[in-house]
Structure 1
């Protein structure tokens, strides 16, 4: 068999001995569109349309794509903030989709999330000791003075001072606030942290500091990351493997350096090309300069390959057939018919 079906990806790279911690298989999330007084369902927004990927223990997997491609929806399904329409999520051998609510709480300790805007994720009326310590109390890990001591340890672990515990969120810079968000994610001793655009709102110099902190914590604590971003440079710096998404589907998979050096899908080429164009133009405009036109609506995606309406290399079959995720060897995959002859069994 020369090609994998759309969304199917090998659990680990050839020779990769990392055991699988998280496995998402054919994840789908469709949001109903309601109209009229009776709120009748008149359509579906296909936010995620059959996505599969794995994260190994101690591995950082990058999920990259333009705004609206479904990255954050994947993050919220993995953390069970929203329910998938179909598909499975297996974490440390347990099926999280079918897991009873009473048993799910124990797994929530092991999967934490760092959000894009640290200030919106911190209660402005709560002191940092209470914000960071809230998961400790909720999960019965620590309370009282034990909670305070643990919060002090966590703040120092992320490069802040224990004296900061009695401050409020508005007294911190954006980078400091994101460090607080990371400390809170670490409070339950997780195995996996989902970083949803965790550095995109920060200045470039501060981004580098936070990324270095995440890498340091990974080395010290053995953490796994699902790192979601729209900036390929950021993803390249921190990720072991990269999954490229477009309009709710995976279009390319590979290690970070290979994807940057030799992209195997026209959309990935557009993302890489956007990095080389003047930064003042804005990311979405830079991508459109390489991939012409606008991103189609997920409520009415085109037939066949979703990217064919913007692809400079489009063929007739792209307009009617859905390309599978071809296995190109060396842990590279591409959902493009141009790679069909290069696919390996």
Structure 2
């Protein structure tokens, strides 16, 4: 059998050997659980437990998994809204985790995040011209009339009328409010936009419109996206590569179309089967794997493969040994002992 894994996750290069815009290595976030008057640390919630991935320039990378698997925590660490416990986040060749506030401020112009609920991320007391223009003022790009002109340009860019910049957030629909959130994320001309469940709260028809807008903006502006969602159908539509996350770790990596057509990890198969996925024959895909029970607590992850308590295909080795990330054909990785027989090797370091 192949060499067993260490605790680190796969280090996956950008296809084609390009220098990645974003390179995340062994990213960890543990939240301490304290007890007693002295607030002694008795355990930790292992929200993210050694995640590695890259995002190339002009590429969309999807990060997908169930609620509670650590996706949003990854998004917040990448954008430095949350400080990692350990690990590396390199943006355009610069390590971000050790930067001081003033140094980090210069990089914040180059990456922004779009949140799930647009109404929560927009101040209800501010007019749109102020909300969208806030990054322009904060980074000393534009004020006054110049700021107003730039906000009008951004509103047109996302398909909204510049005549509405003096309205308040509650005067817009959910889809329009999310477009405003996207406009604000684009205000400083970023290279990377992190979309954290950016379409999950929208109706299906509105989702399609926003996804098409994101594709259009990528073509026109050369943006890179880290697109986080729990719906693989949505991720497949927008993403070049997909990283499947379960209980704080990456369990499968590959091209979006390949993962949807032939998942190499039982969890991915179960995730696909949890939503209606149309097939070429006009029907809907049925998963061969149905996950049992509930997701274990991240404060007490199971030994061995973390998915084994819910996996109908688990065997004895799964219960005691963490699987390595086996390298498969077609730029695929799968952290599953079932793939040992077809693996071309084990991921690097």
Please classify the TM superposition score into its range, dividing by the shorter chain length.
over 0.9
Residue 217 of structure 2 is aligned to residue 252 of structure 1: no
1:204 maps to: 204
TM-score norm. by structure 1 comes to: 0.94
Residue 160 of structure 2 is aligned to residue 160 of structure 1: yes
Measured after TM superposition, the shift of residue 276 of structure 1 is 3.4
Residue by residue over 1:136-162, the C-alpha shift from the partner in whole angstroms, topping out at 9 and shown as x without a partner, is 000000001000000000001000011
State the distance in 1 between where 2:155 and 2:19 align. 30
State the distance in 2 between where 1:78 and 1:219 align. 23
Measured after TM superposition, the shift of residue 273 of structure 1 is 1.2
1:84 maps to: 84
RMSD, matched Cα: 1.7
1:11 maps to: 13
State the distance in 1 between where 2:321 and 2:4 align. 14
Measured after TM superposition, the shift of residue 290 of structure 1 is 1.2
Which residues in structure 2 correspond to 1:86-105 (within 5 Å)?
Answer: 86-105=86-105
Mind listing any 5+ residue stretches in structure 1 that lack a counterpart? 279-285
Q: Secondary structure at the match of 2:195?
A: strand
1:79–1:46 distance in 2 versus 1, CA, 3 Å:
same
1:210–1:7 distance in 2 versus 1, CA, 3 Å:
same
Residue by residue over 1:39-79, the C-alpha shift from the partner in whole angstroms, topping out at 9 and shown as x without a partner, is 22111000000100000000000000000000000000000
Measured after TM superposition, the shift of residue 292 of structure 1 is 0.6
Mind listing any 5+ residue stretches in structure 2 that lack a counterpart? 279-285
Q: Secondary structure at the match of 2:274?
A: helix
Q: Secondary structure at the match of 2:121?
A: coil
Kindly indicate whether the alpha-carbon contact (under 8 Å) linking 1:3 and 1:326 is maintained by their aligned counterparts in 2.
no
State the distance in 2 between where 1:329 and 1:3 align. 19
State the distance in 2 between where 1:143 and 1:203 align. 36
State the distance in 2 between where 1:91 and 1:317 align. 38
Kindly indicate whether the alpha-carbon contact (under 8 Å) linking 1:4 and 1:327 is maintained by their aligned counterparts in 2.
no
State the distance in 2 between where 1:49 and 1:226 align. 19
1:330 maps to: 330
Q: Secondary structure at the match of 1:275?
A: coil
Q: Secondary structure at the match of 1:54?
A: strand
Q: Secondary structure at the match of 1:11?
A: coil
Kindly indicate whether the alpha-carbon contact (under 8 Å) linking 1:132 and 1:183 is maintained by their aligned counterparts in 2.
yes
Measured after TM superposition, the shift of residue 250 of structure 1 is 0.3
TM-score norm. by structure 2 comes to: 0.93
1:39 maps to: 39
2:315 maps to: 315
Measured after TM superposition, the shift of residue 277 of structure 1 is 8.4
Kindly indicate whether the alpha-carbon contact (under 8 Å) linking 1:293 and 1:310 is maintained by their aligned counterparts in 2.
yes
Which residues in structure 2 correspond to 1:1-345 (within 5 Å)?
Answer: 6-13=8-15, 16=16, 18-276=18-276, 290-345=290-345
State the distance in 2 between where 1:323 and 1:240 align. 25
Kindly indicate whether the alpha-carbon contact (under 8 Å) linking 1:2 and 1:344 is maintained by their aligned counterparts in 2.
no
1:149–1:277 distance in 2 versus 1, CA, 3 Å:
closer
State the distance in 2 between where 1:247 and 1:119 align. 29
1:218–1:4 distance in 2 versus 1, CA, 3 Å:
farther
Measured after TM superposition, the shift of residue 32 of structure 1 is 0.5
State the distance in 2 between where 1:340 and 1:25 align. 24
1:319–1:119 distance in 2 versus 1, CA, 3 Å:
same
2:282 maps to: none
Deviates more, 1:54-63 or 1:334-343: 334-343
Q: Secondary structure at the match of 2:165?
A: helix
Measured after TM superposition, the shift of residue 275 of structure 1 is 1.8
State the distance in 1 between where 2:52 and 2:342 align. 22
1:173–1:275 distance in 2 versus 1, CA, 3 Å:
same
